[in-house]
């Protein structure tokens, strides 16, 4: 009943941009939290960023903030991940995850990230960045 569908992955060269889409159905989209994660081959999954809800906070990992931007289009029930200045180390399978609520992890310096306790996950889309 709940579906999370990613699209937009592909093959690009270093320095180029790519926009991934995540369409969520089966949840009240204005309230849904959406996270982007990625898994580099041979490494554990890491968080890219998340949108807590429509009109709410957008959070990013420290290392990716500034190059990656999350936005959402409520009319299309879609959250986007705009990736700019891509590097070979960005090559990974990118996953979208959604839930009616999200948890936050806060740090002493004020930085915050979403937790990974999302119930609904997309299948993933491959992004390959060549040098």
| Cβ atoms 50, 101 nearer than 8 A | no
If phi > 0 it is left, if psi is from -120 to 50 it is alpha, else beta; for residue 30 that is: alpha
Residues of the chain falling short of pLDDT 70? none
Instruction: Give tens-digit pLDDT for 38-55.
Output: 999 999 999 999 999 888
| Cβ atoms 104, 115 nearer than 8 A | yes
* Three-class SS state of 74: helix
Percentage of the chain lying above the pLDDT 90 cut = 85
Q: Which pLDDT does position 65 carry in this prediction?
A: 75
- Please give the Cα distance from 66 to 18 (Å, whole number): 15
- Please give the Cα distance from 13 to 34 (Å, whole number): 27
Q: Which pLDDT does position 64 carry in this prediction?
A: 82
* Three-class SS state of 100: coil
Q: Which pLDDT does position 25 carry in this prediction?
A: 95
Helix or strand holding residue 114 (H, E):
strand 112-114
Instruction: Give tens-digit pLDDT for 19-32.
Output: 999 999 999 988 89
């Amino acid at each position: 009943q709940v579906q999370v569908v990613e699209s937009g992955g592909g093959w690009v060269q270093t320095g180029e941009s790519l926009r991934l889409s995540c369409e969520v159905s089966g949840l009240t989209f204005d309230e849904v939290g959406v996270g982007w994660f990625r898994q580099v081959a041979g490494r554990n999954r890491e968080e890219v960023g998340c949108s807590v809800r429509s009109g709410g906070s957008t959070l990013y990992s420290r290392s990716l903030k500034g190059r990656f931007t999350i936005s959402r289009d409520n009319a299309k029930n879609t959250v986007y991940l705009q990736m700019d200045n891509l590097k070979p180390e960005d090559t990974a399978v990118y996953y979208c995850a959604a839930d009616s609520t999200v948890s936050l992890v806060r740090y002493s310096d004020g930085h915050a990230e979403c937790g990974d306790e999302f119930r609904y996950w997309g299948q993933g889309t491959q992004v390959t960045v060549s040098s």
